[in-house]
Amino acid sequence: MSAPTETALGLTESRSPGGRALKAVVYLLVLIVFAGPLLALLVSAFGHVKDPTQLSVIPSGVTLDNFTVAFDQGVLAYLLNSFFVVGFGLLLQVAVSVLAGYALARKVFPGMTLVLVAILATLMLPEEILALPLSLILSDLPLLHVNLIGTLAGMIVPLGAWGFSILVMTEFMKDVPRELEEAARIDGAGDLRIFFQIILPMCKPALGVIGVFGFTMIWDQYLLPLLVSVDASSYTLPLALRTLRIDPDVTPGVVMAAALLALLPSVIVFLFFQRSFVSGLSSGALKG
Amino acid sequence: MSLDQAGPAAPPAPGPATRTAGRRGAGAVGRRRNGGRSGRRWTPWLFLAPALLLFLYFKFIPMVSALTMSFQEVQPYLGNTWVGTENYTTVLQSSGFREAAWHTVVLAAGQTAGSMALGLALALLMEGQSRRLGFVRSAAFLPVVVPIAVVAELWRIMYHPTEDGMLNSLLGLVGFGPSGFINDPDTSMASIMLTGIWRGAPYDMMIFLAGLTGVDRGLYEAAKVDGASRWQRIRYVTVPGLRSVFSILFILAAIRGLRVFTEVFLLTNGGPDGSTEVVMTLIYKLGLEQNRLGVGAAGAVLLFVATLILTVVVQLLRRRESK
């Protein structure tokens, strides 16, 4: 952000009591509108909420009953599925992205433009549109003839390559000084060694960005797990929310408790890595 | 080896070391260790292989098979038969699809316009540096990082149609009342749109905020000297300065809107009375519930063409404007 000089509305300049009061009202309104529903979720997860009409931001006592019931309903297993998917998915995605980024940023080879265009094309290809053929392909991978339907691997492998992460890594690796790499080459280091000992350690900020975005992206997946899972044993937590809601024995308080568990990881990741999140967001979007 | 440091005019394939040195320009030292010619040439492809393989399997093959499926009657285990453009005729002539397409356009347009307008307003209000502002901005941004499935379940409960549902009791406070929200065909579409705007506006706000830092501060000073009002400053300085941000956000949001699935699936699943059926929920039902994969694929291809056209048109407009 730039120096606190002029802004479009010039609000920061207003020091008068009226101006300050107006600002306070505006900010409070923003908080109510955008954080209010989440506060309601939090309060009802810990409250005695038996039917939807009791949902509110005013606490009605604190209890862990909702969580106990949620765990009885198997929420722990769903949560573990989610962690498994996001853990291995992210590991795969980061590995794939740094490898591809290295080739695209540090090598010149025939066909490179084509590869870049192909990667950009995948970014313009919404996953939703591929849903039907993808579900068929996952049930019988071409050449390999493996069936991934009903397995957690089916929710992980398709997310291994993500154009956004690859492009972020490529852009960042381009900025690592050539001299470092050349010095290493003179000392006799090969590609792998240069990659692991010189390029990767210099890319920590970019690793942060793709880690945060990859995590949020994988944690937020809904359609892919929906296509892949056949029964509750492979449900991720977001999928399980719907099953919980439909269950007549489960109160909204319990659904909100499970929902809280489902949103907490991404909110925590966001709050911890806000800086790289916001910078990655704006650079990614503004570069188009 | 130092003799190999040929200039850019080096012939393309005398040896691997020369090649790299030549392409990298002055100062580059040829690689000297291990490997024959083929090893060198394949190195980048080895590094790219995992990514390309995964893209091939999960993006490109599905894309091609979506295209071929759309011209076939797809019967798993029985074999597919070629039916030409029949699936497309079926899709385009079905009133269900036309209605879903219309709903999708309405939803996409409403969410895009709503999120951008609200996002810009928020960004203008919250531009600045103070710590307190940072806190409000982060809090306002939270909806974006909350998983979409959680957003949908939360709003489902908030939209509870009785008088003492959460949003209805708020409406009651200002003397309106009770709305059926997602349970009423008249308000269901607007309700989904509202949820989408709630989740989309903070994202747009962040992008606008990033764009605002690029607006020339000096122009504000100049406008002030010229006696321009706040409104004039925004109209003549801020908005023109944000032009490229507008078009990028427009493309992103419109595409997001066209492919909308999860929130509709969870909030209404197309109901009540099909009032919120969008293209993606229809495709899902056709393909995975009714097993009419060919017809579903034709719908998906049409949706893809629509997003592609939209992207190209906006890019062309942008290019013409910048000339």
Q: Which residue has the higher pLDDT, A54 or A196?
A: A196
Residue of A nearest to B58 (CA): A158
- The minimum CA-CA distance between B93 and chain A, rounded to whole Å, is 20
The model carries a pTM of: 0.85
pLDDT of residue B21: 40
Interchain proximity A158–B156, CB inside 8 Å: no
**Average pLDDT taken over every residue of chain B:** 82
Tens of pLDDT along B230-277? Answer: 788 888 888 888 888 888 888 888 888 888 999 999 999 887 888 999
pLDDT at A285 over 60: no
Contacts (Cβ under 8 Å, ≥6 apart) of A155: A85, A89, A221, A224, A225, A228, A229, A234, A236
Q: How far is CA A53 from the centre of its chain?
A: 32
Using a CB-CB distance cutoff of 8 angstroms, which residues of chain A are in contact with residue B293? 132, 136
Tens of pLDDT along A7-55? Answer: 777 665 556 777 778 888 888 999 999 999 999 999 989 988 777 777 7
Among A124, A86, A69, smallest CA distance to A221 is for A86
DSSP element (H, E) containing B81:
strand B81-82
Amino acid in the structure at residue A103: A
The token pair that represents B211 in the structure block: 């764009």
pLDDT band (50, 70, 90) for residue A6? low
- The minimum CA-CA distance between B169 and chain A, rounded to whole Å, is 9
Tens of pLDDT along A135-182? Answer: 989 988 888 888 899 899 999 999 999 999 999 999 989 888 888 888
Are the C-beta atoms of B242 and B215 separated by less than 8 Å? yes
- Angle, in degrees to the nearest 10, between helices B293-322 and A131-139: 130
Q: Which residue has the higher pLDDT, B5 or A199?
A: A199
Tens of pLDDT along B154-170? Answer: 999 999 888 888 888 88
pLDDT at B8 over 50: no
Using a CB-CB distance cutoff of 8 angstroms, which residues of chain A are in contact with residue B153? 241-242, 245, 255-256, 259
pLDDT at B212 over 90: no
Beta-bridge partners for B72: B82
Is residue A184 less than 8 Å (CB to CB) from chain B?
no
Tens of pLDDT along B48-104? Answer: 999 999 999 999 999 998 999 899 888 767 777 888 888 899 889 989 999 999 999
pLDDT of residue B99: 93
Mean pLDDT of A95-118: 92
pLDDT at B227 over 90: no
pLDDT of residue B72: 87
The token pair that represents B158 in the structure block: 């908030």
pLDDT of residue A58: 77
Mean pLDDT of A258-269: 94
pLDDT at B174 over 50: yes
The DSSP line for A116-169 is HHHHHHHHTS-GGGGHHHHHHHHHS-TTT----TTSSHHHHGGGS--HHHHHHH
Return residues 67-126 of A near B (CB < 8 Å): 95-97, 99-100, 102-104, 107-109, 112, 115, 118-119, 122, 124-126
pLDDT at A72 over 70: yes
CA–CA dist A88, B9 (Å, integer): 47
A77-81, B80-84, B137-141: which range is least confident on average?
A: B80-84
**Average pLDDT taken over every residue of chain A:** 86
pLDDT of residue A94: 96
Q: Say how many Å lie between the first and final Cα of chain B, rounded.
A: 50
- Report the length, in residues, of chain B: 323
CA–CA dist B297, A80 (Å, integer): 34
Mean pLDDT of A71-80: 92
pLDDT at B11 over 70: no
pLDDT band (50, 70, 90) for residue A2? very low
What is the value of ipTM here, to two decimals? 0.89
